[in-house]
């Protein structure tokens, strides 16, 4: 008998297949004592296992490329954290085995992350995966991971570590469902990059029996258990119609009455450029530059290395728009040379622009590298600062850009509610705004973007968040300037129509989402989008906002 479950849809598409569960986690190693003379040998075993796991993560990242590579390289750095390794050594020195020392050291670090504010709690799944891999290697047992199967299946897991998500084979893994996670978790972002339908934050997903047939709708978040023949046919027909519509939709983003809405790509480095070009991106709306800095947490990359990476992206979009976000370090992306190590709540501390203003030499080098990378190219370069709180922040960034000789538009990201509330003031110093809806939701609702338990508040359909978007867009229009969205909200085709109706002037998203958004936007007039936006803002919850907007656009 068909039953229906609902989680949070995070990657478009439909998947129908049998359930396969993720491999079980490594068991806790026994707490036995070793003689003092064996300590050095055990410490050597632990270090070898750490290095092997770090190398494996880097290798997986090199195979995956793009966004996945940056995530996995950061995870490898986590495995090699000097303080963690020193703690392992200390535990072995007083009698622990290598595997037990690793297990206990990671447990201690895990507790620190969980207690350092909810923002860092999202890194716990990554940390657990690193621990499991090291302990499995030490115990000589298979790594926990994606099940072996010759037939396509739908993967079920409590959560998916980046190392597993990055190398999923779309030919075998039709889609995946997780009990935890949120719409902006690493797994969700990588699922969209892979084009694999995915649903997260579905309590009880692990109770679905192995081999059960389920149908996954990655757009609505619905899971149909043992779907009827009619439901299967309905979903397959809908998926086929959507695929045909995507193939027929080409060219610049626009409403049906010709209102142009540039559709741009979010990229994490040169490796993401081919997919963006293939999807017909009109440029880059968010070029995350952290990948260059995460290679070595001890020092910033040289000016020459930065120039080469930036130019590779700029050359791919001749006469297109490329919006570069300067280094956004801190919180879940700490860098030893830049961010404080002892903040009680890093998400509310020195991160983003605040870190750069404390280290003007790092900002100056990056801006100078961008200026040199753009020399002689017909690209429209725009540079923006993360975590701008007020006009003083915006002025400090604009002054730094001018001092570096940067010939580009200077902008501010709206991720803090104060920047939205005082957007006209911020716009006195910069030439455009870009809404990072992921962090804006996090700070508006005090809801960590990586914690599935508060995913209701991370939903970009929340009317309060739409109000802040409208405030920002209205301010930009009044000042004769642009206001785009580069957060994950732009990847939702229906919400993209609402954002257009709110006055947003461009939309930036993962490359895989561009055809969906282009196709949906082309169905409606600007007036319809505006009415849908008004209906969504008048609602009292995210679900009511979504239903109200859909009703307007479908003519109900």
Active site residues: 186, 486
Q: Which residue has the tokens 């480095």?
A: 269
Whether the CB-CB separation of 106 and 94 falls below 8 Å is answered with no
| Residue 47 phi, psi dihedral angles, 5° rounding | -65, -40
Q: Beta 198-200 vs 8-11: how paired, if at all?
A: antiparallel
How far, in whole angstroms, is CA 28 from its chain's centroid? 31
The rounded distance, in Å, linking the Cα atoms of 486 and 363 is 22
Q: What is the dihedral of CA 273, 291, 426, 456, to 10 degrees?
A: 90
Whether the CB-CB separation of 158 and 179 falls below 8 Å is answered with yes
**DSSP calls for 366-415:** HHHHHHHHTTT---EEEEEESS--SHHHHHHHHHHHHHTT--SEEEEEE-
Write out the two tokens for 161: 């570590």
Question: For 34, which DSSP code?
Answer: -
Q: Is 219 exposed, middle or buried (0-12, 13-18, 19+ CB in 10 A)?
A: buried
Task: Indicate the SS3 state at residue 105.
Answer: helix
Pairs from 169-177 (Cβ < 8 Å, separation ≥ 24): 170/194, 170/195, 170/196, 173/146, 174/15, 174/16, 174/17, 174/216, 175/13, 175/14, 175/15, 175/17, 175/199, 175/216, 175/218, 177/7, 177/202, 177/205, 177/208, 177/214, 177/216, 177/223
């Amino acid at each position: 008998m068909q039953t229906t479950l609902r989680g949070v849809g995070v990657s478009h598409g439909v998947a129908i297949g049998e359930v396969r569960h993720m491999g079980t986690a490594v068991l806790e190693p026994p707490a036995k004592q070793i003689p003092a003379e064996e300590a050095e040998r055990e410490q050597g075993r632990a270090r070898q296992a750490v290095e092997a796991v770090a190398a494996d993560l880097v290798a997986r990242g090199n195979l995956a490329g793009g966004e996945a590579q940056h995530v996995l390289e950061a995870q490898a750095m986590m495995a090699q954290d000097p303080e963690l390794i020193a703690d392992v050594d200390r535990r072995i020195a007083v009698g622990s085995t290598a595997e037990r020392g690793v297990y206990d050291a990671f447990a201690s670090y895990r507790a620190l992350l969980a207690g350092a504010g909810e923002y860092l709690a999202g890194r716990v799944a990554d940390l657990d995966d690193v621990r499991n891999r090291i302990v499995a290697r030490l115990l000589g047992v298979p790594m926990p991971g994606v099940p072996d199967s010759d037939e396509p299946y739908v993967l079920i897991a409590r959560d998916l570590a980046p190392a597993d998500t990055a190398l999923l084979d779309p030919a075998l893994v039709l889609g995946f469902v997780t009990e935890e996670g949120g719409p902006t978790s690493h797994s969700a972002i990588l699922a969209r990059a892979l084009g694999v339908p995915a649903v997260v934050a579905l309590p009880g997903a692990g109770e679905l029996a192995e081999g059960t047939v389920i149908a996954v709708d990655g757009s609505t978040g619905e899971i149909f258990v043992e779907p009827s023949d009619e439901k299967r046919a309905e979903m397959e027909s809908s998926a086929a119609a959507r695929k045909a519509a995507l193939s027929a939709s080409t060219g610049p983003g626009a409403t049906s009455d010709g209102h142009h809405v540039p559709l741009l790509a979010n990229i994490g480095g040169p490796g993401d450029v081919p997919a963006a070009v293939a999807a017909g991106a009109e440029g880059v709306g968010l070029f995350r530059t952290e990948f260059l800095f995460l290679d070595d947490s001890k020092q910033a990359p040289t000016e020459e290395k930065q120039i080469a990476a930036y130019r590779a992206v700029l050359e791919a979009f001749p006469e297109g728009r490329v919006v570069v976000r300067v280094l956004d370090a801190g919180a879940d992306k700490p860098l030893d040379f830049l961010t404080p190590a002892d903040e009680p709540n890093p998400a509310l501390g020195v991160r983003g622009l605040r870190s750069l203003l404390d280290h003007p030499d790092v900002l100056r080098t990056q801006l100078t590298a961008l200026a040199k990378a753009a020399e002689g190219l017909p690209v429209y370069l725009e540079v923006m600062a993360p975590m701008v709180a007020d006009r003083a922040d915006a002025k400090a960034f604009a002054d730094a850009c001018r001092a570096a000789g940067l010939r580009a538009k200077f902008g501010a990201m709206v991720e803090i509610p104060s920047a939205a509330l005082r957007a006209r003031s911020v716009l006195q110093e910069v030439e455009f705004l870009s809404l990072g809806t992921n962090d804006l939701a996090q700070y508006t609702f005090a809801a960590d973007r990586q914690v599935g338990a508060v995913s209701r508040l991370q939903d970009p359909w929340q009317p309060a968040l739409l109000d802040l978007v409208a405030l920002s867009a209205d301010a930009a229009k009044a000042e004769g300037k642009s206001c785009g969205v580069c957060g994950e909200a732009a990847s939702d085709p229906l919400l993209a129509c609402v954002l257009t109706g709110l006055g947003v002037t461009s939309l930036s998203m993962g490359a895989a989402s561009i055809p969906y958004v282009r196709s949906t936007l082309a169905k409606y007039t600007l007036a319809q989008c505006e009415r849908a936006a008004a209906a969504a803002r008048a609602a009292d919850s995210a679900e009511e906002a979504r239903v109200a907007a859909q009703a307007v656009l479908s003519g109900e």
